[in-house]
Structure 1
Amino acid sequence: MTPRKPPKIPESVLVVIHTPDLQVLLIERADKPGFWQSVTGSKDTLDEPMRAVARREVAEETGIVVGTAAVPEDALCDWALRNVYEIYPVWRHRYADGVTHNTEHVFGLTVPAGTPVTLAPREHLQHVWLPWREAADRCFSPSNAEAILQLPRQLALSSSTR
């Protein structure tokens, strides 16, 4: 008998990966073909910092490594946005009994145009770069679509604080 995985921690990241000209990376879920999204993922441990979760999930899901010459550490920006949402019933079995909501922390990651993407084949089928409005329209998750729609505003905010 296969041991059951420990329950997922209901705190996650959403990372909107984009180029300076607002092309947004979307990836298609392997377990739900036709469901397009940005990088997402949950904490592995209760004390894992959210920035570390974002870096880990980006590397695991896209092969993009934050903290390199091509993608420096400051390219990853915490947008200070939090979404609390009901976990889709189809995925609720992954969490402890009685857990129905997740808190999602939103980050943006600016990468150079042409940044190579290497998907985790067990998690994602394909990827696409789309203009930000088109990317928002393709997302299955309302919070993901809303985050992408915030992209021009978030970039303006981050450039004004530099």
Structure 2
Amino acid sequence: MFQKPLKQPISVLVVLHDGNGNVLLIKRADYQNFWQSVTGSVEPGERLIETALREVYEETGILLLENQITDWHESSQYEIYQHWRHRYPEGVTHNTEHVFSAKINHNSPIKLNPKEHTAYDWMPIKEAADKVFSPSNKAAILNLHKHLF
């Protein structure tokens, strides 16, 4: 049986928004009621922006170009939930998450990978911030207004 390679403890978080105060959230398939923005780990040799673009495409089916995504040049470190630590090398307990955002059309067709996500929804910023399970995701959603041009 094929075993996935272990993840690096470096990831991206991409807040997708419509520019009108709404954020796109996706619901995880592996944990009921875990809503989030697009996230994913950096693969070997990838730049952070490449990871962000790849993850947006893999998780939503939306193909963005580098000039369509904003690197906040901000990161946070958090403790990896115990139930996900098996995905990382032994002894790794913390992850560094780099934040990005992108404005997409509210009517963009969303194509979820059913192995990863089971639903999506556009929500007003406050509602989205309250719905996500991750404190760093909540902070990014609430700070989105600082990164709109």
TM-score range, shorter chain: over 0.9
Deviation at 1:153, TM superposition (A): 1.6
Q: Can you list the C-alpha shifts for 1:63-99, whole angstroms capped at 9, x where unaligned?
A: 00002xxxxx422000111010100000000000000
SS at match of 2:4: coil
Match in the other structure for 1:130:
123
Matched, 1:38 2:31: no
Structure index of larger Rg? 1
TM-score, L = length of structure 2: 0.96
Alignment of 1:104-123 (within 5 A): 104-123=97-116
TM-score, L = length of structure 1: 0.89
Distance 1:17 1:98, change over 3 A: same
Match in the other structure for 2:61:
63
Q: In structure 2, what is the Cα distance between the partners aligned to 1:22 and 1:42?
A: 27
SS at match of 1:106: strand
Q: Can you list the C-alpha shifts for 1:12-43, whole angstroms capped at 9, x where unaligned?
A: 00000000102100000000010000000001
Deviation at 1:139, TM superposition (A): 0.4
Identical columns (%): 52
- Counterpart among 92, 96, 112 of residue 89 in structure 2: 96
Q: In structure 2, what is the Cα distance between the partners aligned to 1:4 and 1:123?
A: 17
CA RMSD of aligned residues (A): 1.0
Q: In structure 2, what is the Cα distance between the partners aligned to 1:76 and 1:3?
A: 33
Gap runs ≥5 in structure 1: 68-72
Q: In structure 2, what is the Cα distance between the partners aligned to 1:113 and 1:102?
A: 31
Residues paired across the two proteins, number: 149
Q: Can you list the C-alpha shifts for 1:84-128, whole angstroms capped at 9, x where unaligned?
A: 010000000000000001000000011122111110110001000
Q: In structure 1, what is the Cα distance between the partners aligned to 2:105 and 2:5?
A: 37
Q: In structure 1, what is the Cα distance between the partners aligned to 2:46 and 2:102?
A: 19
Q: In structure 1, what is the Cα distance between the partners aligned to 2:119 and 2:2?
A: 31
| AA matched with 1:147 | A
- Counterpart among 39, 48, 51 of residue 49 in structure 2: 51
